[in-house]
A and B are shown apart, each in its own frame.
Chain A
Amino acid sequence: DAGVTQSPTHLIKTRGQHVTLRCSPISGHKSVSWYQQVLGQGPQFIFQYYEKEERGRGNFPDRFSARQFPNYSSELNVNALLLGDSALYLCASSPMGGNEKLFFGSGTQLSVL
């Protein structure tokens, strides 16, 4: 069975641009979460979506947005990129979005120049 898949694996952008990152959850999982991991730190929660509805939002500016599609895949959008947005963006999925095992993808490495 395929795990959580993310695309692209690497991305280089310049300041002010926008970016869209994509995630496909494990088959049968209805919840998708996004995390930002800065080099040398633990992941930080950005969003959770369950059944296409936003279930949780972390402490990130409005430049960050996300959505979930009927097939449970998800997109993370970041507008007006800043140098500090350079990080590994991780997508995770779980069956029902509660306190249960969270499975992570390998991430998208975003570099903002």
Chain B
Amino acid sequence: GESVGLHLPTLSVQEGDNSIINCAYSNSASDYFIWYKQESGKGPQFIIDIRSNMDKRQGQRVTVLLNKTVKHLSLQIAATQPGDSAVYFCAETINNAGNMLTFGGGTRLMVKP
């Protein structure tokens, strides 16, 4: 079946640097994408979402970019902080799939002080 994947399983960055986490998706019908952050022992925490009629969306210190041509999604974190250390998942769904999200395998972000 269709799935969402990530290029890098682990990303290590220096505190204060910007982080970029990438995600490739294969279902061209997907029209809603979400990034989640998961800390150890906790459930996934919503970070930011984007719909397919947009190619960029910004939040507080985070930006999501969507390139539908190459089916690529990225999460940019500005001025990465130690508290950003976690596993990040991208997830996708299609319009009539309700809450049925397809998650990727996750990228672990490690922030070095």
Interface of A toward B, CB cutoff 8 Å: 4, 31, 33, 35, 40-45, 48, 50, 55-56, 58-59, 90, 92, 94, 97-99, 101-107
Chain A residues contacting B19 (CB-CB under 8 Å) are none
Contact present for B44 and A97 (CB under 8 Å):
no
Give A48 to B102 CA distance when docked, in angstroms: 13
Give A31 to B4 CA distance when docked, in angstroms: 24
Contact present for B100 and A48 (CB under 8 Å):
yes
Contact present for B99 and A48 (CB under 8 Å):
yes
Contact present for A98 and B43 (CB under 8 Å):
no
Contact partner, A42, options B42, B45, B106, Cβ 8 Å = B106
Please give the distance in Å from A40's CB to the nearest CB on chain B: 8
Contact partner, B103, options A42, A94, A106, Cβ 8 Å = A42
Please give the distance in Å from B20's CB to the nearest CB on chain A: 19
Contact partner, A43, options B42, B44, B49, Cβ 8 Å = B44
Chain A residues contacting B31 (CB-CB under 8 Å) are 99
